[in-house]
Amino acid sequence: MKVKKIKTLKPPRLKQGDTIGIVAPASHFDLEKFNKGIAVLESMGFNTSIPEMLFNKKEYFAGSDLERAEMVNRCFADPNVKAIMCARGGYGSIRILSLLDYKIIQKNPKIFVGFSDVSALLSTLYLRCRLVTFHGPTVTTLGNSDDRTKDSLLSMMTSGDKPKIVIKSGMTIQPGSASGTVLGGNLNTLCHLLGTPFQPDFKGCILFLEDRGEAPYQIDRMLSQMKLAGCFNSLAGLILGNFKDCGDADDIIRIAEDIFKDDKIPIIAGLEVGHGKRNLAISIGLNATLNADLKVLTFHEPATKYIHF
């Protein structure tokens, strides 16, 4: 499917007292973890809008496909909601992609935050609307996140600074420096978008990937499939995030070295994003420079725009 080229949309910056709408596009969630996350958002100075249907359950989903899509559509359409945060990942985001109102979303750009299964939404909102989205904690992981995770989320949503991520404990797999649009998220989820109308386009991009609970051979299989599908053609750079419970970290690095051995691109491992206590917020859809030698990802502009009322 050919996607019409449109200008990148940066969402308005948040300020104290703004309302964050909570949606559940995938699985239902643990109420105790949810309440802890809501308390963190309120301690940051934000109000929250929690729709009644958020607590619906249907099998392993937080309600039917239509209900979950409607939550997202309503939050984007509601002028009182200034940002949107997902309650949980799990599974189900891919099922609502064809039910979203992309015209409403494009007319009402807002901060949209989540990770894991929500990567399907983060990727598609950029693909269809060119909306800059935010790979970061969900409400149910926020309560148990460390201070650096919370600080990075708050800064990304409220600061006018250009984000800069220093991967202190990272490992340079292939040296060099490159610039491009930062895209990425959960490897398993992005791999399952192949062959659909929502397949992402990574040409000229700096791609970051993370995953959880996949054996090394499964990581190899997904990366190999994406390579054979042409997903990595003309890739500018690659960053490996947290691969929790995916075997030995050295195995993941070895797989990446093998898959990308013929690509002269900078590659670094150790970005603290994904399924861990530390899940730094990172914007999707912004241009940045990856320096694998210095282990730094430097964005060229702020993640949000200032709106004067």
Residues annotated as catalytic are 116, 210, 275
DSSP 118: G
Q: Which residues of 238-269 are buried (b: 16+ CB within 10 A; e: fewer)?
A: bbbbbbeebeeeebbbebbeebbeebebbbbb
- Within 10 Å of residue 166's Cβ, how many Cβ atoms? 11
What secondary structure does DSSP assign to 276-291, as a single string?
SS----EEES-EEEEE
Count of other CB atoms within 10 angstroms of residue 227: 15
DSSP annotation of 95: G
CA distance 227 to 235: 11
User: Strands 133-135 and 282-284: what pairing?
Assistant: antiparallel
DSSP string, 36-94: HHHHHHHHTT-EEE--GGGG--BTTBSS-HHHHHHHHHHHHH-TT--EEEES--SS-GG
Nearest to 114 by CA among 274, 3, 7: 274
